[in-house]
Structures are given as C-alpha cells and as structure tokens.
Homo-oligomer: A and B are copies of this chain.
C-alpha cells in the first residue's frame, strides 16, 4: 500500500536524520582575505584517479538562463549535470517507483564530478529511498561556463558579474522544475544536499524555494559567518583548538613558526633559503606567500580531519591532524621549528611522497571563482586572536578587504547583501517559522561549525 504523501515525507526526513553519518565531505572557504578560498593548495597533483568510478551516472547539459533577474538579451549557457536513475527507475525503496524522491546536490565552487565522487552518503542512501540522483554543477565552475569558455567567462568584472549565489539558486530552481516536468515527476519530493558553500546553497534554497524542495541537508554550512553574527575569531580558534587537543607542543611550534619565518626572510638570501627549506618550485617573493601556504594546510586539515583515510582535498591518512602533530613532535630537542613544521605540512601536501617541489599557485579544482564571490557578496569576516589562535594575530579590516577587491576586480563588495537577502541576524526565528526540514550538520572539530 502507498504511504500518504505527508507521512512519507516525514519518514523520509526522519530517516535522513537517523542514518546521517559524517561521510559528507566538509569543504569550506577560508576568507581571512579575499584571496582565501577552498581551491588553492587543495590538491597538488592533477590526477584523475580520485574520480571514483564506482558511482554510475550520465553526464548531461541543460540550457540555462544567464541572468534570471533581469531581461537583457544575454546568451544562454550549458549547465552540466550528473544524473542517476538506477534506483529510481528500478523502483527501490518499497515499491515507491517513480514517486521516489529526487536527491539534488547543490553544486558548489568546483568541478561537479569531484563533489559527486566525494559525497558517498548521498549515493549510499539513494537505493534505500529509491531516489533519483542529480548533481547540477554551479555556474562558472567545472564545465558550466557562460560565454562558452572559462577564459571568456573569467575575462573581467562584466563577464563575471552573474557569478552569484542567487543566480545559482535560480539555476537549480529552473533546472529542477524543468526536470520534474520532463520526467512527469511533479509528485516526487525534492531533497537538497550540500556541503560547505553547497550546504549554504541547500539551506538558502529551502528557505527561498519552499515550493520546490521539501527539505535540505546542509552539511558544514556557515550561513552565520557574515557581518557581526558570530565572532570573527571563531574559525581560526576552532582550527587552533583542533591542533591543541592533539598536542600542546605541536600547537606551540606552529604558533612560534610565523615569527621564525619573518626573521629568516629578513636575512640576506633569506627568501632563497626558505624556498629551499620548503622545497618550493618557484623562488619566494615574500614570506607572506609561504605563511599563506602553511595557514591553508592547517585550515584544510581541520576541515577534513576525518577518522578514516580520505582523498577529498588531498590523499590523507585517518586523523590527519594527529599525524601532523606526531611528525612535528617527533623531532629531537633543538631541531629548528621550520624543519619540524615543514615535516608536518608534508603530511598534507605530500602524503603520497611523490612531490618533488611545491607550487604555491596551484589551483587544481578550478575554484578561483571564489575570489570573485568573496569580493562581491560572500564577505565572511575573519580574525585571528592573540591568545586562542596559533595563527598570526590578525584583525579583520573591511577597508583593506575592499581595497584589495577594487584592485583585483574593480568592484566593491556588498558586505550586507547576503543577510538582507537570506537573513541571518535572527536566524533562529526564521528557521523556526519558515525554514522547516533543514538539517544543519556540523562536526565540532570542523572550523566552519562556529558559523554553522
């Protein structure tokens, strides 16, 4: 017998909560300055072997409107999406058949195949629910390029101007509506999934398009990391705590290393020495580039500190922070801090041991679009506190943040727009009254949990 639609939806969501594991990858966006985002340093080698071939899907394209909210005569573009009807058409999940739900992963700032291969949870539960799976790609990432090519899409502020969260959500709304119509699946409930920025999109989509999706699983989604909603130190404090809880001496070594780098860099031939010491491919131009590189490693490690081996950002062992600290702590007394720190971050950047030299400007997943997003609407203020943080002390300064954006893109951010459009300051009330069926999952070690 068919369950009633309402009971079915409740059961579906309850089940999602019950079987939810920590297996959704926790991607994230450090934003101490506009140049911080997920992509940089995330994976050193451009290999394709991380695309897990065990998940079967078709790759298709949808003709998408470039500007949903205005009506100039702009060209359309091809939005890529992955689709799997294996479980849906086979009628899994107790004969639900074509009334099975549609699981939509809200693509975030990268190649959609990368996210698809790292969202095992969604694939694992799809058969239980007899769900259709779709992974629409976020505009301006992967292959979903307006104007026909990445080069043209990223040409200037004009061509980039449609790279916004609202436009991406509208893409998903139009895509899902069209897909359901084409499949005569109007009765199938839609459940949204997403991690990090994709999790923000999933939560916001449920708030803004409740007629399209019945619920969302927003994993590690820092929708409160805007303006003054959470303390700006939250992110780096959590990263630092993740290291301190493994080892205080490890925390201390990292905390001291920044000054060592400064001192070393100021010596004659200091930058060259640092280049050699850290096995960099290109000569260092400033100590800041090196500090950024190290900062990124620690931040990303905190985001993917899974208790099992993973290769989402980089090939990593289980509990990678424990491994990093074990390395740092394993040196005999008197070993230079920089040597120890280098050995530590090598766990992150070179766990496979195949890297000859490190390239600080590497962006394997094509995510530099985040720079643009951080310089327009995604202004997430971050500071590093003197006491709790192992990072260099840093106070968020909006003026210099804005200056950097004007310099890079010729554009001023709108730092208050996101909370105006999506809310945030009194989120508890909004969610209670309207945003039902949104599961915000946050691992407490995850630095984004503070804003999530």
Contacts and interface: CB of A to CB of B under 8 A. Distances in A.
Given A65-B414, A421-B173, A433 B210 contact: yes
A10 interface: no
A378 B421 CA distance: 22
Nearest to A160: B71
A177 interface: yes
A26 to B, nearest CB: 26
A132 to B, nearest CB: 19
Nearest to A162: B70
Given A65-B414, A210-B433, A434-B210, A71 B420 contact: no
B421 A157 contact: no
Contacts of A207: 210
Given A433-B436, A436-B433, A173 B71 contact: no
Nearest to A413: B71
Given A208-B208, A211-B423, A71 B157 contact: yes
A148 interface: no
Contact of A430 (B173, B211, B433): B211
Categorize the interface residue count of chain A.
35 or more
A426 B157 CA distance: 39
Nearest to A159: B72
Contact of A70 (B164, B174, B410, B423): B164
A79 interface: no
Interface in A151-168: 157-158, 160-164, 166-167
B157 A72 contact: yes
A75 to B, nearest CB: 13
Interface in A427-452: 427, 429-430, 433-434, 436
A173 B434 contact: no
A174 B417 CA distance: 8
A139 to B, nearest CB: 12
Interface in A373-412: 376-377, 410-411
A411 B71 contact: yes
Contact of A426 (B72, B177, B211, B417): B211
A423 B163 CA distance: 24
B71 A164 contact: yes
A316 to B, nearest CB: 36
B72 A421 contact: no
Most buried by B among A170, A427, A434: A434
A212 B67 CA distance: 25
A177 B433 contact: no
A420 B70 contact: no
Given A73-B410, A208-B208, 17 more contacts: A65-B414, A68-B421, A69-B70, A69-B164, A71-B164, A71-B411, A72-B157, A72-B161, A73-B157, A170-B420, A209-B421, A210-B430, A211-B426, A211-B429, A211-B430, A434-B434, A434-B436
Interface of A: 65, 67-73, 157-158, 160-164, 166-167, 170, 173-174, 177, 207-212, 376-377, 410-411, 414, 416-417, 420-427, 429-430, 433-434, 436
30 contacts: A65-B414, A67-B69, A68-B166, A68-B421, A69-B166, A70-B70, A70-B162, A70-B167, A71-B157, A71-B160, A71-B163, A71-B164, A71-B376, A72-B157, A73-B158, A170-B420, A170-B421, A174-B417, A174-B420, A177-B416, A177-B420, A207-B210, A209-B423, A211-B422, A211-B423, A211-B424, A211-B425, A211-B426, A212-B423, A433-B436
